[in-house]
Structure 1
Amino acid sequence: MTRKFDFEMPKSLTEIVASRLRQAIVDGEFALGEMISEDTLAALFGVSRTPVRDALTLLQNTGLVEIRPKRGSFVFQPSEDDMRAICDFRVMLEVQAARCAHRHDREGVVKALQAGLDEMQAAIDADDDVRYGHADSAFHLTLFLHSGNSYLHDAYDLVAGKIAALRTAMSRQFADAREVSLNEHRAVMNFVDQGDFAGLEGLLRVHIDRTVDAYRLAVDSGRIGTPVRTPRLQRIQPTPTS
């Protein structure tokens, strides 16, 4: 009898650097369009430039980083056309994910969406823009986690990092509209619960398309080029082996 043991392989240094840098971009520690210095990152992480360079290549494959020959590496910064394409993609995917989640696990997805709403309310009460952005991202991801369709989840994952980073970058732009946002998310949950996907698509079209207008305002006001948070990158501790 052949036995199979499942275990998690330790992450490589490149994967650790990529994961931490991805989170830093999503959390707004780097501004959209900002240049990322390999030397600075290597010093902050306490590693050589090789895993940093490889990590930047990994993040370029997800669209979060743009590597320009002879110029350096930069955080992505979409054009208005890119924003519209991302929004269209999101609406199509999220409506389909909601259909699948309603059919596959209606009770579970509604419960998870309610938990997401509670976290969004807590973020509003704490006046924490970044926490609200995290809760917003988790709320929408819930549809895919309960869809029972890994291909839908993988498709969404192609743009999830960009969407999360854009939310954080525009968090100050949305600060006065968080209550409106929360009410719209509550309506999303109700549509999913009722299986009203025509109503859901109409709401998501308004809810998501508003991002384009907010992005334009943020660019015009110069807020997009400013980090939301002070970088908090820390040195990477060696992974213990046994």
Structure 2
Amino acid sequence: MSLSSQAFTRIRHAIVSGDLDFGERLSEMQIAEALGMSKAPVRTAFFKLRDIRLVTIVPQAGTYVFSPGPEDVLEMSTFRAVLEKAGMRLSMKQAAAVVLDTLEQTVYRMEKALTRGNWAQYETADREFHEVFMRESGNSFLPQAYDLTASSITALRVRLQGGEGDYRARSFGEHKLILAELKAGHLDEAARILEDHIMVINESGLVLPPRDTPRAKARTRSIEEYKAIFGR
């Protein structure tokens, strides 16, 4: 794996996992030092992260972790719902047996992770549940389009799981319902539940910054903090 790919993977994980906050300013020099590499691979990683909407690069100002406002979350979730419903219908037509088998396995793994309180494992199974619709759709453009917001949506969900309320239990229950409706051949009802499941993030109560939050107030970390995050 190239240095830029390593930097991309590790910074992406730090953003998605919540180790790096929404809206904070990223120091190219200090992250490079924390990762034990030059600035060039980190700069390349920033551009790749920008392409999947995880950072914003502002000329003459710097690079910032994405900071979604309520309007952004609505746009992302609407986009995802459209893609996933299309993927569900296509995949059930193209490879229903594979889709149902994969969903059965992921729901089982989600239940085990939920019982153990292991959110990382739950999130992995959750992601695989949704990705099977893209992968088995028979349309190569759907997974590419889906990837545009997949990391951003995951970052939001990870922050939700640390908050108040019954988000985890509701999420798991909806996955079980989607599987049950698909097994029963009720594709329209499964699609309706899927859309509600995706759009509920807009009603979650997750506190998000407004779009016009001044960047001058953005947090900047010390080299010691970066080393703690990146394990050096």
The alignment's TM-score, normalised by the length of structure 2, stands at 0.84
Aligned-pair CA distance for 1:12: 2.5
Give the letter aligned to residue 207 of structure 1: H
Query: 2:69·2:208 contact (CA, 8 Å) conserved in 1?
Result: no
Aligned-pair CA distance for 1:187: 1.1
Structure 2, unmatched stretches of 5+, are 210-218, 220-226
1:32 corresponds to:
22
The answer on 1:163 being equivalent to 2:163 is no
Match of 2:79 among 89, 98, 102: 89
1:134 corresponds to:
124
Give the letter aligned to residue 78 of structure 2: D
Query: 1:133·1:171 contact (CA, 8 Å) conserved in 2?
Result: no
Q: Structure 2: how far apart are the matches of 1:93 and 1:112? A: 19
In the superposition, relative to structure 1, how do residues 66 and 125 fare at CA in structure 2: closer, same or farther (>3 Å)? same
Deviations 1:14-60 (A, max 9, x none): 12211221122222221222222212211121001111111101111
In the superposition, relative to structure 1, how do residues 58 and 177 fare at CA in structure 2: closer, same or farther (>3 Å)? closer
Query: 2:81·2:199 contact (CA, 8 Å) conserved in 1?
Result: no
Where do residues 9-88 of structure 1 align in structure 2 (5 Å cutoff)?
11-88=1-78
1:8 corresponds to:
none
Q: Structure 2: how far apart are the matches of 1:174 and 1:189? A: 26
Q: Structure 2: how far apart are the matches of 1:169 and 1:128? A: 14
Match of 1:105 among 95, 109, 112: 95
Give the letter aligned to residue 207 of structure 2: A
The alignment's TM-score, normalised by the length of structure 1, stands at 0.81
Query: 2:23·2:64 contact (CA, 8 Å) conserved in 1?
Result: yes
Query: 2:23·2:67 contact (CA, 8 Å) conserved in 1?
Result: yes
Q: Structure 1: how far apart are the matches of 2:99 and 2:127? A: 15
Give the letter aligned to residue 139 of structure 1: F
Give the letter aligned to residue 123 of structure 2: G
Where do residues 157-236 of structure 1 align in structure 2 (5 Å cutoff)?
157-173=147-163, 176-214=166-204, 216-219=205-208, 232-234=229-231
Q: Structure 2: how far apart are the matches of 1:161 and 1:82? A: 14
Structure 1, unmatched stretches of 5+, are 1-10, 236-242
Q: Structure 1: how far apart are the matches of 2:172 and 2:20? A: 26
Task: Say which SS state the counterpart of residue 66 (structure 1) adopts.
Answer: strand
How many residues align structurally?
216
Give the letter aligned to residue 135 of structure 1: A
Q: Structure 2: how far apart are the matches of 1:232 and 1:175? A: 28
Q: Give aligned-pair identity as a percent.
A: 31
Match of 2:133 among 143, 149, 157: 143
Give the letter aligned to residue 75 of structure 1: V
Aligned-pair CA distance for 1:200: 2.1
